Amino acid sequence: MKTKKFIKKISGILLAMAIVISSTIPILAAEPSIESAVDVVKGEVVFRNLENISEQSFTSMDDNGNEYTVSIEAVESPMALARTASRTWKISFTGVIINCSFYMVVSGNKCTSVYDRWIMTIGCTYSGASLTRSSTYGRLSFDATAIQGLAKTSCWLKGTVTGSNNDVKVSYQM
């Protein structure tokens, strides 16, 4: 009999703890405001304050309700020039079906190099991948085709130099 009472007391204590913990989690898990993203327009994210916050991302939902993340991160790179006036950025898109990234070197507020494209797809294939650059942008382009060719779309991820502080805005179509 004492064992049953003891088990009931322990169960009651555990249930009370679970209720207290579950009621505080939403407060602790509240997301901070998006201070890093200035403009968020469909297909374009303009990050600010990159000189102080060198790794930023923006997460949203696509038209089908799937979550995706667009990110920019300053990285050390052997491709960057040795002088301090250049910055190397990793530009990436992470979604449910398509994940891709590339690196771009920005010096004197101009895109001087792009390299190391990476593409991963789930449930589809990609073809025609190309990594191009001009003095103002770096762009990864490819075609994604659903299994058995039922649907095909042109995809791209682009980093465009903003013209100040070697910063970059990221645009995409997936």
Task: Write the pLDDT tens digit of every residue in 63-84.
Answer: 889 999 999 999 986 654 455 5
Which residue would you say has higher pLDDT here, 35 or 54? 54
What is the pLDDT at residue 117?
A: 97
| Order of strands across the sheet that contains 124-133 | 37-41, 44-47, 168-173, 152-161, 137-146, 124-133
User: CA quadruple 155, 79, 76, 81: dihedral positive or negative?
Assistant: negative
Give 44's strand partners.
41, 171
By 3-state DSSP, what share of the chain in percent is helix, strand and coil, each rounded to 5? 15, 55, 30
The structure tokens listed for 28 are 């602790």
143-146-149-154 Cα dihedral, nearest 10 degrees: -20
Identity (one letter) of the amino acid at 88? T
Determine the CATH number of domain 37-173: 2.60.40.3860
Model confidence pLDDT, tens digit, residues 33-42: 444 444 577 7
Tally of CB atoms within 10 A around 5: 9
Which parts of 16-167 are beta strand (E)? 37-41, 44-47, 55-61, 67-75, 86-94, 98-107, 110-121, 124-133, 137-146, 152-161
| Domain assignments of the chain as residue spans, ordered by start | 1-30, 37-173
Predicted local distance difference test score (pLDDT) of residue 163: 79
Q: What is the CA radius of gyration of the chain?
A: 23
Q: What pLDDT score does 86 carry?
A: 81
In tens, the pLDDT along 7-28 reads 556 555 554 444 444 443 343 3
Cβ–Cβ < 8 Å for 150, 130: no
